[in-house]
């Protein structure tokens, strides 16, 4: 197989030998995957670069849905039934606002609101979103590093038939993800700069993993931020993605609708094709094993296994599979480099 990208020479490892792992992440799927990554490799060597295209002001506070879902899940504080928010949280604030006639379709719990208020106050005082994210990470006792993709506002908008243009949270939560999507607008992310630490984390990574998040509105905004694609292309680290599509359907969310809007096939193979120009490996569900020859024909190292991350054990297995694919890519590159040197010496 031909590698999808060329490796940069002379990469160094971390001082204690552990691989430095960067994960491009969205919300629920990424959180479940990261739950496994921090079991498969020391969490202090893991950096998650998280989508902020969903960020929006609700009830006067800055909400970062994906950052909070990842943090709450890894801290084992997530409301498991809803998939977001804090377990056991109360909703006195939004219930009172509803009684006063306010729209409360975004159900933000009281303790969750306090965290978002802290974020809002710190941002107003001049802190960057990266700084505030780190404060909340440390408050939750997490050892991995969490980085927003950008400190700049990067709202994702969805254009619908009939001319409506809505913020992604309105599309998803308020409107229930209608299927009449015409296009997705990432222009705000395209005008944004990476948050401090993002480019450096990518450059220093030994492995880059792409979580099983929505390719269009979770991973897409990260890639749209200025310089991120270039940083990935020049990193030299093996890049391995995990498919969010199983058996022709998304594990969660409207990925099928949004992929179709971009003219992409809704399948593991469709996602592999969508990513093929910048990844080296692909992990997908064993239910789609028949697609493996076509996926590998794209020049990708691959592995199929159970990717329905119902618990931390399965999440760890998926993370280890992705890391294993990355290691195979690295070995293949070392072998190709050795062969090239040998040929050069024989001339």
Q: What mean pLDDT do residues 93-102 have?
A: 98
Beta strand spans in the chain (E): 21-25, 46-50, 56-58, 61-63, 145-148, 157-160, 165-167, 181-185, 207-210, 239-242, 245-246, 249-250, 281-285, 301-305
Q: List Cα–Cα distances, 292 to 156, 186, 267, 309, 310, in angstroms.
A: 32, 31, 12, 20, 23
Cα–Cα distance between 318 and 309 in angstroms, integer? 8
Cα–Cα distance between 82 and 51 in angstroms, integer? 20
303-323 pLDDT per residue, tens: 999 999 999 999 999 999 999
Helices and strands (DSSP H and E) totals, the chain:
14, 14
106-165 pLDDT per residue, tens: 999 999 999 999 999 999 999 999 999 999 999 999 999 999 999 999 999 999 999 999
Examine the pLDDT at 13 and tell me if it is beyond 80.
no
> Nearest-CA neighbor of 186 among 138, 228, 146?
228
- For the chain, give the percent of residues with pLDDT over 70: 92
Examine the pLDDT at 11 and tell me if it is beyond 70.
no
Contact 69, 85 (CB under 8 A): no
Cα–Cα distance between 40 and 319 in angstroms, integer? 7
Q: For position 252, what pLDDT does the model report?
A: 81
Cα–Cα distance between 197 and 82 in angstroms, integer? 31
Could you tell me the pLDDT band of residue 14, with boundaries at 50, 70 and 90?
A: low
Tell me the CATH architecture of domain 26-346.
Answer: 3-Layer(aba) Sandwich (3.40)
Cα–Cα distance between 106 and 108 in angstroms, integer? 6
Q: What mean pLDDT do residues 29-58 have?
A: 97
Residues contacting residue 72 through CB under 8 Å, at least 6 positions apart: 31, 78, 79, 84, 85, 86, 140
Average pLDDT of the chain? 93
Per domain, the residue ranges of the chain are 26-346
Q: For position 251, what pLDDT does the model report?
A: 82
Cα–Cα distance between 231 and 227 in angstroms, integer? 6
Q: What mean pLDDT do residues 69-98 have?
A: 96
């Amino acid at each position: 197989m031909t590698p999808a990208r060329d490796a940069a020479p002379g990469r160094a490892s971390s001082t204690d030998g552990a691989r430095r792992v960067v994960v491009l992440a969205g919300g629920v799927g990424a959180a479940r995957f990261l739950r496994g990554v921090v079991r498969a490799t020391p969490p202090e060597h893991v950096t998650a670069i998280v989508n902020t295209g969903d960020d929006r002001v609700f009830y006067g506070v800055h909400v970062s849905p994906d950052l909070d879902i990842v943090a709450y899940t890894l801290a084992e504080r997530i409301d498991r039934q809803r998939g977001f928010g804090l377990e056991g949280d109360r909703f006195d604030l939004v219930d009172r606002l509803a009684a006063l006639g306010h729209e409360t379709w975004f159900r933000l719990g009281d303790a969750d609101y306090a965290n978002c208020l802290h974020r809002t106050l710190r941002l107003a005082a001049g802190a960057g979103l990266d700084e505030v994210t780190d404060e909340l990470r440390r408050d939750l006792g997490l050892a991995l590093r969490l980085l927003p993709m950008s400190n700049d506002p990067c709202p994702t908008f969805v254009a619908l038939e009939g001319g409506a243009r809505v913020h992604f949270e309105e599309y998803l939560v308020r409107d229930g993800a209608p299927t009449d999507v015409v296009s997705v607008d990432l222009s705000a992310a395209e005008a944004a700069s990476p948050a401090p630490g993002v480019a450096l984390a990518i450059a220093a990574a030994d492995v880059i993993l792409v979580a099983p998040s929505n390719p269009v509105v979770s991973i897409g905004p990260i890639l749209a931020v200025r310089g991120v694609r270039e940083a990935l292309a020049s990193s030299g680290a093996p890049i391995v993605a995990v498919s969010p599509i199983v058996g022709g359907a998304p594990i969660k969310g409207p990925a099928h609708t949004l992929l179709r809007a971009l003219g992409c096939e809704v399948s593991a193979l469709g996602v592999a094709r969508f990513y093929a120009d910048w990844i080296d490996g692909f992990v997908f569900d064993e239910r789609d094993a028949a697609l493996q020859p076509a996926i590998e024909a794209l020049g990708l190292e691959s592995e199929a296994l159970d990717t329905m991350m119902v618990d931390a054990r399965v999440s760890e297995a998926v993370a280890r599979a992705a890391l294993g694919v990355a290691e195979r890519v690295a070995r293949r590159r070392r072998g190709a480099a050795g062969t090239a040197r040998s040929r050069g010496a024989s001339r």
